[in-house]
A = this chain, B = another copy of it.
Amino acid sequence: MNIRTICLAILAHGEASGYDLKKHWEEGPFHHLGGASFGSIYPALARMEKDGLIRSREEVQPGKPARRVYSLTETGYQAFIDEMSALPEPDDFRSHFGVITLCARHLTRDTLARALDERVRQQKAEISKLTPIAEIEKDRPVGWLIEWGLAIMATEVAFIEKNRARLEAFAGTAGPGDELSICCLPDMPAVKQQSTAAE
């Protein structure tokens, strides 16, 4: 799922300028579903207009810079429906926290504890921010999605608080020279061989 798809999805809910789209991403429900920068948005809009998916008009406003406001064409709305009707692709997910936990053996207990504290703090802050919004939005799809996110974040916080001691016990059990295999999946002989056959 690329920037173009999300632009279509936002524009399907109303016309918007490039600046509006960025605001949606930073402050609205799309924030948690993937970021976007001006460096992506403006070229994407230009491409989509060239492809006939959107049209634009200049809007002069008193006291503010002029806006270029985009809206979907019929072709664009159809493209939007097509992309939303396709079977959902697996999520793209990249987690610094996850990598830190995988490398627990190489960290000090304090460092690891600080990472876990920070993660719990982040998730709790997000839960506090979103809980009242879920209530306000409960009669719209966005409310459903926020509840989905809240359920997941609550599970994560509970999991960490219950199991953190088990992870912290790994801290400091590896150093620069050690070659520990990360895992031992049945389909990954290369990893095992490599860590046992080293030298």
Contacts and interface: CB of A to CB of B under 8 A. Distances in A.
Determine how many copies of this chain the complex contains. 2
Contacts of A122: 88, 90
B188 A102 contact: no
A182 B85 contact: no
Interface centre among A91, A115, A182 (most CB of B within 10 A): A182
Interface in A181-199: 181-185, 187-188, 190-191, 194-195, 198
A41 interface: no
Given A14-B191, A28-B183, A89-B96, 5 more contacts: A1-B96, A27-B187, A92-B93, A105-B141, A148-B159
Interface of A: 1, 5-6, 9-10, 12-16, 20, 23-24, 27-30, 32-35, 72, 74, 77, 80-81, 84-107, 111, 114-115, 118-119, 122, 133, 136-137, 140-142, 144-145, 147-148, 151-152, 154-156, 158-160, 163, 166-167, 170, 176, 179-185, 187-188, 190-191, 194-195, 198
